Structure 1
Amino acid sequence: MQPISVNFHLWKPCNYRCSFCYETMPDIQGNLSLNDSFHLLKLLREAGCQKINFAGGEPTLCPYLGELLAAARRLGLVTSLVTNGARLSQLLASHADNIDWVALSVDSANELTSQRLGRGTGNHVKFSINLFDLLHQHQIRVKLNTVITRLNYQENMSEFVRKVRPERWKIFQVLAIKGQNDGLVEDLLISSEQFKMFIKKHQFLESEGVKLVAETNQLMQGSYVMIDPLGRFFSDAKGYHEYSQPILQVGVDVALSQVQWYTDKFVDRGGIYNWGSQYIPI
């Protein structure tokens, strides 16, 4: 299968310190230049990529993200951001027309729980609600991303979800990745049954138009095509990060063959869906 959907973790710095984060990238220094990033997007498009997800770190901190979004749009790519919203309002003011999807990360509707997880300093929930409203005003398709941990698996987030009206709600079982969050995440890990309990509690929201996408540890690992800030494919299929040679040196096909990507997992976790740019109100 071609790498039709790619997560480009273009920017390592982040304004938050989420204790469960499995993309801290302590072994990586630096990032691709703007011109190299342009070239990378072109190679991905030529290799069959249809959708590019800009992630981090925190992608909105990247000073040239807007230019990359415009370039991706010119190439015919569906554009998406995975963000905590740090500089999203500023980005929307100048580049809203180049953004098809935004996935906002909110792990709890409780400000204290969010703060305990490292997601902000006590106002992340309110901040995110305002951003969801802004995204709806711009008619940008929205996702809600939530990581389920020991601190929130018993929570009922239904009222919050109804308020922010995501088209898709991606719900992740907290994942331990060696070299990324070991020493921090252990006390937050949950069982498969605890994860299922959270999903079951919120399943009824699908009847109200919210698509729940539940990703267990097993489904997540090795199911994403991911690129690091240095322009290398990487995989977490073995429980730690493995990297390819730089894509700009060896090309997409050779570099992708050097990491593990399970296309059946990609399909099973709902990686293919109607990701066109048409806004669908909920």
Structure 2
Amino acid sequence: MTRTRASGRTVGGLRTLLLQAPAVTLLLLWMIVPLGMTIWFSFQYYNLLMPGMSGFAGVENYEYLLTDPALWKAMGNTLLLVGWVLAITVGGGILLAVLFQQEFAGRGIARVLAISPFFVMPTVSALVWKNMMMHPSNGVLAWLANTLGLPAMDWFSTLPLTSIVIIVAWQWLPFALLILLTAMQSLDEDQVEAARMDGAGPFAIFFFITLPHLKRAISVVIMIEMIFLLTIFAEIFVTTSGGPGLATTNLAYLIYMQALLDFDVGVASAGGVIAIILANIVAIFLVRMVARNLED
């Protein structure tokens, strides 16, 4: 009887594996083939403008990138962009989540309007900010400055990286709000009411009840946003094209410049491998942080 049951489990397990095999195989090929080709090209001389120059390059593509000041400038811009956007979206998302948790007239409509920017395509969002908000002559911000008697600012020339941070933060703030507001729904109102009856003020309730309750949701927001913010491209391409100079060039845009402007596939592939390594390092820390918060 025991052998029959064990045999049944084995057959059932084999059937499950056979059913899963096509999907798992396709997924592995989908990931491994592009990764393998990227690693292969990163060790090759492969410039589309110089077809006669080919062959094994060794680590020269990596040496070229690692000794190029543009790489370190791009990595610095990437870290600044990610850091500032995370600070704005997480901080603003917490405050807005607390605000929208309160009862007020038109709360449902206000929630929908606050979350709407997240569903705008990045290219459209960048064009709106470039031509309607931050335009030095016809933009809304220029009109406000003139109304107040202040000179209008050319945002993308004077504060290029700050402009990109504002655009990206405007896009991702609704995402943080959505996750944190959802987490707020599970906050125990009896606990909050008990704290009020014990004499706790709004700030004490916020710091000792609300924030600890949102800790897991904040970790999830940081993890998901950081993964996507490391690859920001459309907003930079549409507005500043990485300039002035390298002021807004991040790692993703630097790889684009090497691949599609300089046509150097080998160097661009080496940049892609460096980006993969950086993303995996960040992912390891993020996963550990989230796991630690989930265990608490």
- TM-score above 0.5: no
More helix per residue: 1 or 2? 2
Report 1 or 2 for greater relative contact order, CA contacts < 8 Å, sequence distance ≥ 6.
Answer: 2
TM-score (norm 2): 0.22
Structure label with greater radius of gyration: 2
